[in-house]
Structure 1
Amino acid sequence: MTVWNCVMAVDDDADILLAFKDVLEMEGYCVMLARSGREALDLLQRGARPAVILLDLMMPDVSGWEFRERQLADPSLASLPVVVISGQGVSARDVATLGVAGYLKKPVDLEQLLGTVERYVRPRQSQPQHA
């Protein structure tokens, strides 16, 4: 399931996931959702390869911190870019220790979100068409 033009959003808050899905799909992006770090890892281990992962840090089960540790330990997943999206209690300095591609603070500014996603994946309608 190689989906190079998709965004994977990982958050334990269903409302946030649905908001990301709605906004990103309206802009023409393919979106995969995971409600935990464990679910995201399962999708990746089954072959999903999103262009970028939007990762919440504070989740039960497998936190974003643990997800990132496991991701980096797997050579087939380590190069997938991750943008942390987190709220209270996390500083940019804390996030920098994760070696991620970016950091957005909750509540997320939609223009920042779309600009960040655009760096990694083009919307579906702008993909070249092959006969």
Structure 2
Amino acid sequence: MKQDETCIFEEPKKKLVMSASEKPSSSCSVMSTVALARDIDPLLKDLNEKKQSFKRNVVSLAAELKDVRNRLASQEQSYAKETLTRKEAETKAKSMEFEIGRLQKKLKERNEHQEVYSFSNCIKRYKATRHYSKHVRDTG
């Protein structure tokens, strides 16, 4: 050790400082290493435990984030499918409304045509009946 260096080692709740002028022995180095190792070992264990806990938390949060992203993607896909289905249903409903209107118009035209045809047939039968009656009277 140099003249102005000090030998520092800690014991629980006690700090010992030994100056170079006090002629430290070679055991100071060994004692300080042992004391430092004894004091640092619990600190390292605690730090290591905190590090492991932090890693577990990060892994857990990453898994949760992945799960949330998957659920979000699933919901977005479901929403897109629902939107498409709704648009298809709206298009089909409009098409059906148009078809119903077209069929109603066609039915109305047929009914009108049928009425004209029925009326025409009625007149023809009336005329035929009159003609037959006149013929029966004339021949009889």
> TM-score scaled by structure 1?
0.20
Larger radius of gyration: 2
> TM-score scaled by structure 2?
0.19
Point out which structure has higher relative CO (alpha carbons under 8 A, 6+ apart): 1
Structure (1 or 2) with the greater helix fraction: 2
Structure (1 or 2) with the greater strand fraction: 1
